[in-house]
Amino acid sequence: MVLLSLVATHSNVDLETVARLSVGAPQVPASVLAGDRAVSGAVVLATCNRFEIYAEAPSEDDVEAARSAIVSTISEYSGIPEQSVSASFETHTGQDVAEHLFAVGAGLDSAVIGEREIAGQVRRALIEAQGSGAASGGLVRLFQAASKTAKDVGAQTALGSRGRSIVSVALELAGDLSADADWSRKTVVLFGTGAYAGATMAALKDRGCTDISVFSSSGRAEAFVASRGGTAVTAADLPGAMRRADVVIGCSGSDARIDAADIERVRQGSNRPLVVIDLALSHDFDPAVGTLPDVELITLESVRAAAPEEQADALAQAGDLVRDAARSFEEQQTTRAMNAAIVALRQHTQAVLDSEMERVRTQHGCTAAAEEVEFALRRMVRQLLHVPTVRARELAAEGRSDDYTAALEALYGIDVAPAAEKAPAPDQHLRAAAGGTAVVPVPHPHTHPDGAVCPVHHERPAQSA
């Protein structure tokens, strides 16, 4: 299996394009899996700054077909021509897949370096893919490793102690633009009830803000405030809440964008300054809102421009942790693939041995001589497998796993991938392949034509290869 990722972020495309590509994001994994055999698993990571698809293909030969299937699906949902979709994404394969995701999860690729929310978004992306059945085993391991790396970066570097996020920087900007920086005296209207709105609510409460009205066009405001605090407002109540507000925050990404004329109408007769914070990727507010008198508009672009620079030493340390974790993950992936090859070789030799021993028993019966022949053959097989097992691990470390599997196919006709998929190896074979203590499988007790059971065929401990 081969991992790949298609990445569109604030670093390589504008946020408007990211928003357009993200249309239909939750449906992309299931659609790709249903329509194309080149993709065996898919996870989507869609945030306010990025749209990324992580996928697993059956082999290197399927990577381009998998990418094409994903691009075609995104084009279908977004309405953007396939050529434009393809040009918007950077494609990662090999160790670059893990290194990029680990950096994302640790907040190193965010508009605000070291932000906290992204680690939770990475976890939720995996949970959603698992819930829909789209997450393959390789992708589960990848995302779990990303979450572990994010924790390590937070615990072992100064980035974890800063506690910065897109929300926190936006609120700092809002405080700087207000005559009164005391959030306990501010009235806030919050649009949205998703995860980002939840993070915003928590940040507001941390700053002492208690007068928070929540509006949801989908009608989920009551459930949201029941667990997080604040006051739910209806569409009828919204104009009055907007008129009294000092700060309005958009986190919904709703299709119903609020125009400058709407703000001007509900604020008519009010001369109090208003700060509008638009954190939705697809914008909850028309950019013209920022041209209104006594209104300041803060967008994701504003946050990115105002995000503080992190210390070079903390970033370097975090980068080293990410690269080491990605290298370790790739080595584990290679080892898993090589173990399948080792198991396939062992199963092949075991089948040959069993066939030969069956002929010996048929000819000579269950005698002491037959037993000695069997033990001698098993010792010989273990010795013969020792060098191929060692070489398998050496080639895996050199990144030459394909050379080994190609040699098995050329010399023995062993097709490693189908063997791993159709007939999972018994635990004892896997332990032996990993270098641990194994039990050499011995045929079931042989029964003579007269019904007597031969007692000498039993299990013997195998030496580690």
- What was the pLDDT predicted at 282? 74
Structure confidence by residue, pLDDT tens digits, 295-322: 999 998 888 787 766 667 788 899 999 9
The total of other beta-carbon atoms located within 10 Å of residue 8's CB is 25
CA distances to 107, 354, 426, 433 from 390, in Å: 39, 24, 20, 10
CA distances from 207 to 168, 182, 229, 458 (A): 10, 8, 14, 72
Per-residue pLDDT of 263-280, as tens digits, reads: 999 888 777 899 999 988
The 10 Å Cβ neighbour count of residue 64 is: 13
pLDDT given for residue 163 in this prediction: 60
What is the per-residue burial (b if ≥16 Cβ within 10 Å, else e) of 419-447? bbeeeebeebbbbbbbeeebebbbeeebe
What average pLDDT score do residues 83-112 get? 92
Q: Are 137 and 145 in contact (CB under 8 A)?
A: no
Residues above pLDDT 90, as percent of the chain? 43
**Lowest mean pLDDT segment, chosen from 248-257, 285-294, 423-432:** 423-432
Please tell me whether residue 92 adopts helix, strand or coil conformation. Answer: strand
Query: Do the Cβ atoms of 353 and 407 come closer than 8 Å?
Result: no
Query: Is the pLDDT reported for residue 439 higher than 50?
Result: no
User: Cα 225–229–230 angle (5° rounding)?
Assistant: 80
Q: Model's pTM, two decimal places?
A: 0.64
Give the span between the Cα atoms of 273 and 246, in whole angstroms: 7
Strand partners for 248: 189, 276
Higher-pLDDT residue of 52 and 300 is 52
Which CA distances in Å does 138 have to 106, 395, 404, 411?
Answer: 20, 21, 21, 29
Nearest to 197 by CA among 347, 55, 376, 48: 48
Which residue ranges form the domains of the chain, and what is each CATH number? Answer: 2-162 (3.30.460.30), 184-305 (3.40.50.720), 338-462 (no CATH)
Amino acid (1-letter code) at residue 287: P
pLDDT tens profile 25-45: 889 999 999 876 789 999 999
SS3 447: strand
Taking the C-alpha atoms of residue 213 and residue 215, their distance in angstroms, rounded to an integer, is 7
Cβ atoms of 21 and 75 within 8 Å: the answer is no
User: What residue ranges in 286-436 does DSSP mark as E strands?
Assistant: 295-299
pLDDT at res. 69: 94
Confidence (pLDDT) at 430: 32
* pLDDT digits 0-9 by tens, 210-222: 999 999 988 889 9
In 66-123 the beta strands, taken as DSSP E runs, fall at 90-93
Q: How far is CA 355 from CA 346, 370, 442, in A?
A: 14, 14, 12
Tens digit of each residue's pLDDT (9 = 90 or more) over 386-406: 787 777 767 766 667 677 777
Q: Which of 79-93, 265-279, 398-412, 445-459 has the lowest mean pLDDT?
A: 445-459
pLDDT of 84: 94
Active site residue 48: yes
The residue-averaged pLDDT of 230-245 equals 93
Structure tokens at 429: 């074979």
Whether pLDDT at 461 is above 70:
no
What is the per-residue pLDDT for 129?
A: 94
| pLDDT top residue among 248 and 218 | 248
Tell whether the model's pLDDT for residue 113 goes beyond 50: yes
Q: Span 130-148, mean pLDDT?
A: 95
Task: Check pLDDT > 60 for residue 447.
Answer: no
Question: Considering 48, 209, 251, 366, which one is annotated as catalytic?
Answer: 48
What's the whole-number average pLDDT of the chain?
82
Nearest to 318 by CA among 74, 150, 97, 447: 150
